[in-house]
Amino acid sequence: MSLAERIAQIIEMQGPISVAQFMSIALHDPVNGYYAQHDPIGIGGDFTTAPEISQMFGELIGAWIVQVWREQGAPSPARLVELGPGHGTLMADVLRAARLDAEFLSSIEITLIETSARLRAAQAKRLKDTAVVIHWAERFDDSLADRPLFVLANEFFDALPIRQFVHTERGWCERMVGLDRQRSLAFALVPLSRQLNIPAERGRPRRGDICETSPAGEGIILQIANAIAQRGAALIFDYGYGANAGFGETLQAVAAHKFANVLQKPGEADLSSHVDFAALARAAENAGTKTYGPVTQRALLEALGIEVRAECLARANPEQADSIAAAVKRLISSAQMGTLFKALAILPKGAPRPPGF
């Protein structure tokens, strides 16, 4: 039985399910879910992330983490956590850059938050030669807050389940996943409306506008911010929008680097949505931290010196100069990842302003 048929059975038994429930099943079902069946990253997967494009991305982030750690008094022991570490490429590059500060490496313990057994195996293989102690966990929880905490998340929050609400003559009605007359998955609206706490900066909604919320994402940010309110930092990269974005649907399905139908063949395509950085920042500030950004990926990487790093790499590897230049363009060009992707930093209120923001 396909995952679509199993979801249809659930709907027949209990009624329409929320978009968030649908996403959770489609992505995380232990047998037929997307992450149980696929290695999503790279040429053979469904999308490519910044760390896979160039080592420069991770090296600059590594230097950022070390500097922030230093500016907060070089706490030891400390914990470095990555949410959704992919193949372990970002962490490998971070640790290579951090080798310039042996005290940092001797002070940290690493925890990788990963639910996919397939990806955990890839991470273990990629990081097998590191001298730093590495642990894995399926979710972020308060047990990780027993020491100063430094958190990295690249393209993690976009994959968390979202809820969708459509503005109707009755007000905001939640969008659900139900069945049409052919017993195929289809979107539908609940008849009763509800109040949404929408910041004024987003403007006044019109009939048919869609508002997306991520209780899961805001909940994780609240946990992280509570943990680092005294000492620590978080750096988040993702594609998303800020406070003045207005309304619109961003939920999408991607398979083999091409867009696909969200409801068709669940478990066979990656599902994601654009991240509401303003909502994440509000959640973090409600926990007593200070946020910086979001700034564009281009602005942050340029401020951290990606062009200087590229020149150094090209001089050391002249035969790779063209590919290095192409990687920089892909990471910072407005036509590619440079402006769509944003970065948000979260630090204790009394900490120095982080580099690049």
Instruction: List per-residue pLDDT tens for the chain, 357 residues long.
Output: 899 999 999 999 999 999 999 999 999 998 898 888 876 665 555 557 888 899 999 999 999 999 999 999 999 999 999 999 999 999 999 999 999 999 999 999 999 999 888 899 999 999 999 989 999 999 999 899 999 999 999 999 999 999 999 999 999 999 999 999 999 999 999 999 989 988 888 889 999 999 999 999 999 999 999 999 999 999 999 999 987 888 999 999 988 778 889 999 999 999 999 999 999 999 999 999 999 999 999 999 999 999 999 999 999 999 999 999 999 999 999 999 999 999 999 999 999 999 999
Domains in the chain: how many in total? 2
Same domain, 14 and 64: yes
Same domain, 161 and 309: no
Res 236: pLDDT: 98
Same domain, 183 and 234: yes
- HSE (CB half, 13 Å, CA atoms) of 311? 4
Question: Is the residue at 357 inside a domain?
Answer: no
Q: Check which CATH number belongs to the domain holding 79 and give it.
A: 3.40.50.12710
Same domain, 58 and 78: yes
Same domain, 321 and 235: no
Same domain, 32 and 86: yes
Reported as type and span, the H/E element at residue 274 is none
Res 99: pLDDT: 92
Question: Is the residue at 356 inside a domain?
Answer: no
d(CA 256, CA 34) in angstroms, rounded, equals: 13
The residue among 306, 237, 227 whose CA lies nearest residue 90 is 237
Question: Is the residue at 353 inside a domain?
Answer: no
Domain of 146, in residue numbers = 3-298+341-347
Same domain, 60 and 159: yes
Same domain, 113 and 139: yes
Strand runs (DSSP E) across 252-312, as ranges? Answer: 252-255, 258-260, 270-272, 275-276, 289-296
> Do the beta carbons of residue 346 and residue 157 sit within 8 Å?
no
Same domain, 187 and 46: yes
Helix (H, G, I), strand (E, B) or coil at 315: helix
Same domain, 315 and 177: no
What pTM was estimated for this model as a whole? 0.93
What tokens does 319 get?
């035969």
Question: Is the residue at 354 inside a domain?
Answer: no
